[in-house]
Amino acid sequence: MPQSEENDIMKKTISMYWPLAVFVPFAAAAYMYVSSESASPVSQSPLGASQLTAELARTVSYGLVGDDSAAPVKPMRAVTSVQASEAS
């Protein structure tokens, strides 16, 4: 088979099947997304009291909740004003 015939066959094959190559992965991802939501209604339910207190304790220990004076993280306004003053 000459090189030009192989290229023509490949071009025809690609032009014929590219929509399928694009559609099938999206359809599979959509199917998995829908089936995972319907299969796990437990993840949609509220947290139990013990799990909720553990999550709250974890956020407090990370310093995300508490006094503003003890917060290790600067407020967003302070960060943007510092960046603006450093830029000039």
pLDDT band at 25 (very low <50, low <70, confident <90, very high): very high
Place of tokens 């290229």: 7
Domain layout of the chain by residue ranges: 3-87
Q: What is the pLDDT of residues 42-84, one digit of tens each?
A: 556 677 777 788 888 888 888 777 665 655 566 666 555 555 5
Contacts of 68 (CB under 8 A, 6+ apart): 75
Across 31-51, b (16+ Cβ under 10 Å) vs e yields eeeeeeeeeeeeeeeeeeeee
Contacts of 14 (CB under 8 A, 6+ apart): none
Report the range of poorest mean pLDDT among 11-15, 25-29, 41-45: 41-45
Q: What is the pTM of this model?
A: 0.35
Residue 84's pLDDT is: 58
Rounded to an integer, what distance in angstroms lies between the CA atom of residue 60 and that of residue 41? 29
